[in-house]
Amino acid sequence: MLNFESNAKAQTCNGVTRRDFLQVGSLGAIGFSLADYLAAKESVGISPKNDKRSCIMIFNLGAPSHLDTFDMKPEAPAEIRGPFKPISCPGADFQLSEILPMHAKIADRFSLVRSCYHTGAAVHDAGWQMMQTGRLFSGGVNTPHVGATVSYLQGRRTDLPPFVVLPETMGRGGGNLPNGQAGGFLGKGYDPFALMADPSQPNFKVPDLLPPPEIGTARLERRRRMREVVDSTVQNFEASENAQLLDQNFHAAFRLMTSKQAREAFDLSKEPKKVRERYGMNRFGQCCLLSRRLIEAGVRFVTINTFLTVFNEVTWDIHGSKPFTSIEGMKEIVAPMYDKAYSALIEDLVERGLLDDTLVCNLAEFGRTPRVNPAGGRDHWPQCYTVYFAGGGVKGGRAIGKSDPIGGVPADRPADPAQVVATIYKSLGLNLETHLPGPAGRPFPIVDFGKNPIQELF
């Protein structure tokens, strides 16, 4: 939370302290050392800013069954193919499941990669790490989320944060591992702005954008001026690189708190009722609508978590037995909500002329077992699954790669998480040879050597 009444003191690495009139939660923490900051200025291969391209990452937390959605196997035995039938997709060279009829109508706008896999453990949070950062964390090194890297390399366009997560960052995944939705070794200053609210609720507002009721705009401005007076009395501190970095966070938070543009971007009441209903009056649907508003307002990267955790709610995690749902339960509960919101988002971006410059990528941590289990569900399966992309230079209507006859392993054009991440960077115009200031200030490549984008998408 943002706290304009804090009595905290900020202390730099050289021991100088000053009263900090603006304590900022995830936005205000510097998060990495002066050595790292100086090393960042020397990092190689940084691309020039691409102020046109943005990205919406929809993370299908829980992992959809590729065999019952995007990679149907109608000729396989019943225990493999499942209960659903494939349907045709006009303008596309693939079929989809009958539980995604609205996807089928816009299939010419997106392309599937049916040969994704990873070699990590079959636990949710291992897959979350790999798919959102391109790496499995090891040796205490947490790689930054793709959005954090974009934020670091390209910065903000407007008063809004460059990297936002809706509705909030992921919860537990069962493996007790970091989920990959943070700034990692870049520091907390590059963590995403997390909404921490359900935009489908009638009383929805964004707490971190609203000053406490007892503090008016004029009072905030007086505090900013008072802080400048204090700053000017600490000349040695103000000349340091550390102070400049602290001030960047101060001013970024102040701009966000006082920005009319930011408030309006998050204000869903400005959308006609018909538009809101088109997306679906549920948490995921309204997050998709909000993501469009944020991209339109200048946010570079938005991640939408379809669900928040695999516990205590029905998700794509269809093991069959309670508290999870079955394959049939996915049809009744999860698929309609997801199908409606995604199709509305793509159609809305097209209608507003935004899709060409907005990559929409739909990812998941793994697929599901080829064989239906005795409880009527499917279990975790990182050996093969489907992801898909729209906009941002991607040509639609195509299936890239394929799985074997039972959807168990890639049979053509295998793609791992690093290649998925490289594909996102390519769409956004980043130089894949760029390095970040890694642990101890050592150069750290944004993509592992030899990991190329999925070129067939473009």
pLDDT, position 26: 34
Give the CA diameter of the chain: 77
2/428 Cα distance (integer angstroms): 31
pLDDT for 338-387, tens place per residue?
999 999 999 999 999 999 999 999 999 999 999 999 999 999 999 999 99
Residues 337, 391 within the same domain = yes
Residues 191, 317 within the same domain = yes
Residues 287, 224 within the same domain = no
CA 367 to chain centre: 19
Strands 95-97 and 380-381: unpaired
Contact by Cβ (8 Å): 240, 12: yes
pLDDT for 39-61, tens place per residue?
444 443 444 445 799 999 999 99
94/449 Cα distance (integer angstroms): 32
Query: Residue 205 corresponds to which tokens in the numbers above?
Result: 């507002």
Q: Is residue 401 part of a domain?
A: yes
Residue 342 belongs to domain spanning: 47-195+266-457
Query: Is the omega angle on the peptide bond into residue 83 within 30 degrees of 0, that is, cis?
Result: no
Residues 337, 395 within the same domain = yes
Residues 188, 238 within the same domain = no
Nearest in space to 299 (alpha carbons), one of 342, 354, 250: 354
Residues 3, 77 within the same domain = no
Residues 52, 169 within the same domain = yes
Q: What is the CATH number of the domain that holds 441?
A: 3.40.720.10
Contact by Cβ (8 Å): 113, 457: yes
Q: Is residue 336 part of a domain?
A: yes
Q: Is residue 40 part of a domain?
A: no
Residues 83, 7 within the same domain = no
Residues 177, 222 within the same domain = no
Q: How many domains does the chain have?
A: 2
pLDDT for 249-302, tens place per residue?
566 666 777 788 999 999 999 999 999 999 999 999 999 999 999 999 999 999
For residues 61-75, give the mean pLDDT. 98
The CA-based angle 160-164-166, given to 5 degrees, is 130
